[in-house]
């Protein structure tokens, strides 16, 4: 598939799916960070904020893709 063949529906659905996967991964990492046994091993990445932001953007992208799907 060439980039010229990419429609806004495919772009929004792909970006939304990718962000949803990142959000699930970040949520899993945040849960592991909260339940760690060694309290001295802290994470340098704020996984909760990454999970929240990517979830919000994924919801917007997937809802825009659904809107394009059902109106076309």
Q: For 13-59, what is each residue's pLDDT tens digit?
A: 999 999 999 999 999 999 999 998 888 888 899 999 999 999 999 99
CA distance 55 to 60: 9
Counts of helices then strands in the chain (DSSP H, E): 2, 0
In a domain, 30, yes or no: yes
In a domain, 53, yes or no: yes
In a domain, 15, yes or no: yes
Q: How many domains does the chain have?
A: 1
In a domain, 26, yes or no: yes
> If we measure between CA atoms, which residue out of 15, 19, 21, 26 comes closest to residue 50?
26
Domain hosting 19: range is: 9-34+44-71
Neighbour-count burial of 59, counting CB atoms closer than 10 A to its CB (0-12 exposed, 13-18 middle, 19+ buried): middle
CA neighbours closer than 13 Å in the CB half-sphere of residue 61: 18
Kindly report the pTM of this predicted structure. 0.86
């Amino acid at each position: 598939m060439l980039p010229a063949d990419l429609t806004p529906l495919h772009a929004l659905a792909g970006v939304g799916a990718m962000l949803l996967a990142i959000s699930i991964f970040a949520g899993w990492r945040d849960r592991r960070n909260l339940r760690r046994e060694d309290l001295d091993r802290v994470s340098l990445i704020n996984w909760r904020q990454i999970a929240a932001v990517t979830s919000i953007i994924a919801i917007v992208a997937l809802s825009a893709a659904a809107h394009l799907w059902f109106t076309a």
